[in-house]
Amino acid sequence: MGFLIKNIAVGSPQDVVVNDLGLTVFAGGTVDLAKEQANDVAKSTDLVAAVEAGKLIVLDPLDDTTPLTALQSLDAITTHNDTRMLNTRVLFHDSKEPSGYVNRTDSLISFDATGSPPARVFAVEPSGANGSPGYYEYYIRGRRFRETERKTIQLPDTTSLYFIYFDENQDLQYTTQFTADLLKIYAYTAAIYWASHFGAITYFGDERHGLTMDGDTHAYLHRTFGAQYISGLTLSGTYNPDEAGSPLGNPTDADVQIRFSPGVIQDEDLAHNIVHTGTKVNSYDFEQELAPITKLIILYRNATVAGEWTAKLVPDAFPLIYSGDSSGYVGGANGLPPFNSRGGSPISWDLIEVEDESYFFVHYFATNYIQHPVVGVLGVENYTSRPTGLDEVSAELAELQDFPFQEFTPIGSILYQASSTYSNTPKVRALTTDEGDRYVDLRTSRSISVIVRGRGVNDHGNLGGLLDDDHPQYHDDTRGDVRYYTKSQITVLLNSKLDDITNEDIEDLFNVQYVGSPAPVDGNILVWNSATQKWENEAPVVQKFYTFQADQFDNPVNSDWTVNSLAPSSADTLNPALPVRRFDDTTEEGVGAGITIPENTVNIVFGFKSRAQTAPGSAQTVQPTLYNRLVPDNAAVGAWSSALNLTTISIPTNTNFQYDTQTISLATLGWSAGEHRQLELTRRGTQPGDTLSGDWNLLEMTVEFTA
């Protein structure tokens, strides 16, 4: 029995409409509201107004006779003689539960990316499906909310994974930071990855969870387990790994086409049924073209926008990216498929053609992506020798942890070999693993599930069984002593070899027979001279040292200099016997010099003796700038280089001269031995690293070349 609402027909009989309950109580009649609507009754402002006006009376749901003239008294209904029901509104208030959707079939979610620029509008609205009430409801911390209209929110045109939810004001909101609050104090609704440069979504996940799980448990399961494989999703079809085709070495298109069977993954309390297009049983089943050939999108990271997740969004008959497909990728000279290269350091993702006769993986996942529940992710390595299987897959998935998905589980990885000799469309063949499996089946692999989510034991010292000797393929001290020479054995052998060379033990320098001069001292390196059969000093390290006093610099006073503005020479105002060059803090001024790079050098060391003209109130910095050009042998003088910001020089709160040095490798500068370089040293004063107000006085610059 629920709440009885009775029309007491004050004055002439009339119907009473309770708008915020969507309820009409006919004249002289009663309406029985199910007990699940108690929360709505308690918060209905229209019902309160009708009761206070004497038009309606609300009866106690437990005895059908006691009037509840103040709806707030619902909070007081607890028990009566151990037979009355617990008021769920009180329970909800105390527990701040539940949060989630009453029935996800009552609503539809969508995302509009059409237009130019794309609309980027997420919407949720009543489904209007058969049996649906024409509205949808959700709870937030024990309060029920009803929506009868379409609600929307526009996402910004910025690449990110967006988490969308209803707040207690019944407004849609989004965040780019996932926290447990989404599951505990909001009605979490969807997750969307928007790729701004790409102008499309590469993930749209359904997150309309129900009410049967409390927020803390939900957050725990989400963080530790995520989506889990339940059944199905078996790889089959004409897929024929290791098939070289006929003639030998020419696999067909059919040999590399795959088919995944329908299956189920579990996203906490939501079971996601992945079915073939047109075969859904429930409105929330995920449909995808699975048979006879599974067509899926392939995701990869793009170089254009630092690691943005992009995709081949028009699925075709091949579960990879290949030259000429809808992704826009075009192969190189061999027309082979790409792998998703990480580049160097810093990482710079890109599609790079696989080397001829080399190998690469594509990894496949089941997700809660509404339109594309099964997706492929391009592998990140080009293997010149055939990988074994699971080890390499584990390593690649560990590098691909930052997926654009919210809920997903790995289901398999396929090893492909690319060859310019293959005539099928993608120019690949599929290969079995080293254990003879048709592919690397990941559906029930708990270890892989942990890897891809970055979860599990993160401190090696916390692992169990660390003292167990259960890896005989690795050498401990005992096995190592059997296989390799010990330290003492090596010492004996080396001493015998040295005896052969010098005819006596080498205990110190007195035991070494050497030639040449000067005589060796501690720290020298000796080399063996086979002609004299003697030891001798290694050739000395060639070094060169330049010193430029303030009055010894060249003056940039014509347009042949890159900066035609002189840092003037003047007597130091505190020490007039010392000439200095004064560099302004607002106008770029410079001095010049010329140097020749000696042989057998690796680094150049710049030294500066300088001070502030006026002591600053707090520690500041000056950042000199260096330009250079090559003066070659029998060729035109080169162009000036671009500005190179040197390391900042610290200026303390005084006017004392400071000694500073900076070492730069010749390789970094692109300089070579024997070259003559003209230098111009300036102070621009505009870089963030130059904070000193007023002149900077340079007494001396040194240039040292070291091995």
Most confidently predicted of 238-252, 263-277, 496-510, 517-531: 263-277
CA 88 distance to own-chain centroid: 44
pLDDT at 698 over 90: yes
In a domain, 171, yes or no: no
**Could you say which DSSP state residue 377 is in?**
E
pLDDT band at 479 (very low <50, low <70, confident <90, very high): confident
Cα within 13 Å of Cα(565), Cβ side: 11
pLDDT band at 75 (very low <50, low <70, confident <90, very high): very low
Per-residue pLDDT at 703: 94
CATH of the domain at 662: 2.60.120.260
Per-residue pLDDT at 61: 58
Residues 520 and 660 in one domain: no
Residues 428 and 519 in one domain: no
Whether the CB-CB separation of 312 and 362 falls below 8 Å is answered with: no
State the CB neighbour count (10 A cutoff) for residue 559: 7
Q: The sheet that has 56-59: what strands, in order across it?
A: 30-33, 3-7, 56-59
Rounded CA separation 222/216 (Å): 10
Share of the chain above pLDDT 90, in %: 48
Residues 696 and 570 in one domain: yes
Residues 654 and 529 in one domain: no
In 116-233, which ranges are E strands? 121-126, 136-140, 143-147, 151-154, 160-166, 172-175, 187-195, 200-206, 228-232
Rounded CA separation 64/651 (Å): 87
Cα within 13 Å of Cα(554), Cβ side: 15
In a domain, 586, yes or no: yes
Which residues, at least 6 apart from 623, have a Cβ–Cβ distance to it below 8 Å?
Answer: 645, 646, 647, 648, 649, 683, 684, 687, 689, 690
At 24, list the tokens.
């009409």
Interval 39-62: pLDDT, tens: 566 667 788 788 777 788 877 655
Per-residue pLDDT at 520: 64
Interval 389-437: pLDDT, tens: 888 888 888 887 678 887 889 999 999 999 999 989 999 999 988 888 8
Residue carrying the six token digits 């590399």: 256
Domain limit, last residue, from 95, 112, 131 = 95
At 650, list the tokens.
């610290």
Rounded CA separation 418/445 (Å): 28
Interval 499-552: pLDDT, tens: 555 554 455 555 555 555 556 666 667 777 777 777 776 654 546 889 999 999
Share of the chain above pLDDT 70, in %: 81
My answer on whether omega of the bond before 518 falls inside 30° of 0, hence cis, is yes
pLDDT band at 259 (very low <50, low <70, confident <90, very high): very high
Residues 273 and 384 in one domain: yes
Nearest to 259 by CA among 290, 289, 297: 290
Nearest to 419 by CA among 337, 317, 350: 337
Per-residue pLDDT at 77: 37
Per-residue pLDDT at 480: 77
Q: pTM above the 0.75 mark?
A: no
The residue-averaged pLDDT of 490-504 equals 66
At 170, list the tokens.
């019944």
Rounded alpha-carbon distances, angstroms, from residue 176 to 73, 154, 160, 193, 218? 42, 14, 7, 10, 19
Whether the CB-CB separation of 7 and 33 falls below 8 Å is answered with: no
Per-residue pLDDT at 73: 44
Per-residue pLDDT at 6: 81
Residues 386 and 238 in one domain: yes
Per-residue pLDDT at 463: 39
State the CB neighbour count (10 A cutoff) for residue 281: 8
DSSP 231-280: EE--EETT--TT--BSSTTB--SGGG--EEPPEEEEETTEEEEEEETT--
At 137, list the tokens.
């409801």
One-letter amino acid identity for 394?
S
Which residues, at least 6 apart from 669, have a Cβ–Cβ distance to it below 8 Å?
Answer: 604, 628, 644
pLDDT at 200 over 80: yes
Per-residue pLDDT at 645: 94
Domain limit, last residue, from 537, 560, 593 = 537
Residue 498's φ and ψ, nearest 5 degrees, are -65, -35
In a domain, 555, yes or no: yes
Rounded CA separation 673/705 (Å): 10
Strand, coil or helix: 6: strand
Residues 593 and 614 in one domain: yes
Strand, coil or helix: 113: coil
In a domain, 488, yes or no: no
State the CB neighbour count (10 A cutoff) for residue 54: 11
Residues 553 and 678 in one domain: yes
Which residues, at least 6 apart from 630, have a Cβ–Cβ distance to it below 8 Å?
Answer: 637, 638, 675, 676, 677
Interval 435-463: pLDDT, tens: 888 899 998 876 665 555 554 333 343 33
Domain limit, last residue, from 66, 95, 124 = 95
Interval 297-326: pLDDT, tens: 999 988 766 678 899 989 999 999 999 999
Length of the chain in terms of residues written? 707
Interval 203-223: pLDDT, tens: 999 999 998 888 888 888 888
Interval 129-177: pLDDT, tens: 666 778 999 999 888 898 999 999 999 999 999 999 999 899 999 999 9
Beta strands 350-353 and 338-341 are antiparallel
C-alpha dihedral (361, 366, 367, 372), degrees to nearest 10: 80
Per-residue pLDDT at 306: 65
Per-residue pLDDT at 355: 94
Residues 511 and 576 in one domain: no
Rounded CA separation 332/352 (Å): 9
Can you give the residue range of the structural domain that contains 88?
A: 3-95
pLDDT at 264 over 90: yes
Which position has the higher pLDDT, 636 or 305? Answer: 636
Per-residue pLDDT at 458: 38
In a domain, 480, yes or no: no
Could you tell me the maximum CA-CA distance found in the chain, to the nearest angstrom?
Answer: 132
In a domain, 67, yes or no: yes
Residues 267 and 353 in one domain: yes
Residues 532 and 435 in one domain: no
pLDDT at 96 over 80: no
In a domain, 134, yes or no: no
One-letter amino acid identity for 63?
D
Residues 521 and 610 in one domain: no
In a domain, 78, yes or no: yes
Residue carrying the six token digits 């770029």: 588
My answer on whether omega of the bond before 117 falls inside 30° of 0, hence cis, is yes
Per-residue pLDDT at 4: 76
Round the average pLDDT of the chain to a whole number and report it: 83
Most confidently predicted of 8-12, 229-233, 521-525, 597-601: 229-233
As for how many domains the chain has, the answer is 4
Q: Report the phi/psi class of residue 64: left, alpha or beta, with left for phi > 0 and alpha for psi in -120 to 50.
A: left
